[in-house]
Structure 1
Amino acid sequence: MLRRLIAALPLAIALTPLPAAAGPDPLPPFACTGPFAADTDEAALIRQFGRANVVFRAVPAAEGEMVKATVLFPQDRSRRVEIIWLDEKKRRRPGDVLVYDPGPWRTPEGIGIGATLAEVEKANGKPFTLSGFGWDYGGSVLDWDGGRFARTTAGCRLLLRFEPPGTYEGDVDGDREFRSDNKDMRAAKPVVYQMLLSYGGE
């Protein structure tokens, strides 16, 4: 009997399922709370995400400028976040928190990079106002027009920027205001290409 048990051990071990490989820790919501709250600083980000995932470096900004920012996950574009500080010297009090690339970051309402105009309208609860395309600030949400995203936390608001995925017809270019339910805007089928938490009143 003992011999049978010993002989069966290798088979039993082989059939025992291995634990699943651990993936990246789930990310918090992309919101004006938690790690991106008004009182956060670089030290808090290091505690949350780990020293190896937080660096301070120059990053490109609008109109060809370079600015200093704390960058989360600099080696993983899908999770990369840039934080530009109001107090750059002490690296505290975020001014802008930016996400550019498709990945797991989502607002509490489930909006992420690649969200469509219709999906953002639904999450906002109504149409909103955005700028025309084809310039540095093209496709930027200018006003949530009283929707859910119009709510602010500690002076922080969510801003999104859209761009069409390809060529489009209709006059929706330039430094002008358009409603998201404008027929030409809808026909262009823009999607979110940047998410921004702004404490700077942009």
Structure 2
Amino acid sequence: MENFNETRAPALEESVGAAIRELRLREGLTIAQVSELAGISRGMLSKIETGSTMAGMDTLARIARTLGVAMSALFSKYDATASTAQHVKHGAGMEVVRRGTKSGHTYHLLAYGQGPVKLFEPFLITIEDDSQRYPTFQHPGTEFLYMLEGVIEYRCGQQTYVLEPGDSLSFDGEVPHGPENLVQCPIKFLSIIVYPRNTE
């Protein structure tokens, strides 16, 4: 009865669960962290990941938002017929949680990874005021910043750069970096992280 090219096609629940688990592990997040941010129980998330149960669309949307992907990414292993282009309308970038969120940074993701490997992440980052301490970031790949509004002193390693609208800065993401001083708020800039390709 299960003669589909000698292997059984995975059920939708299994495909969605496997995609969620893969995305979670890729971000280095635990079940506890994702379940708390998504507002669901650890047990429910565990069942979803193993394909034991299928979550409702609202729950899947919250999980996708927590993982910083479009909900369609959760179905990528089940239905691979997706467009190769993404069009995000003005103001429609998905707001996601990142480490700087606790420091008052707002992150809008401007494109959503569709394949099994994250190649790049483009963010629109907004900082409204100077009331919080600034985090330091490190990550794989190369980061490119482009200033849109405001003035910021941005530290990269031992150097500090004053960035004004129209300025850009690119650097190795492994070098500690982050805001040093918010000179003129509000501040808006594009941050595009290009991840290294795995050439194994």
Q: What is the TM-score with the length of structure 1 in the denominator?
A: 0.31
Structure ID, larger Rg: 1
Q: What is the TM-score with the length of structure 2 in the denominator?
A: 0.31
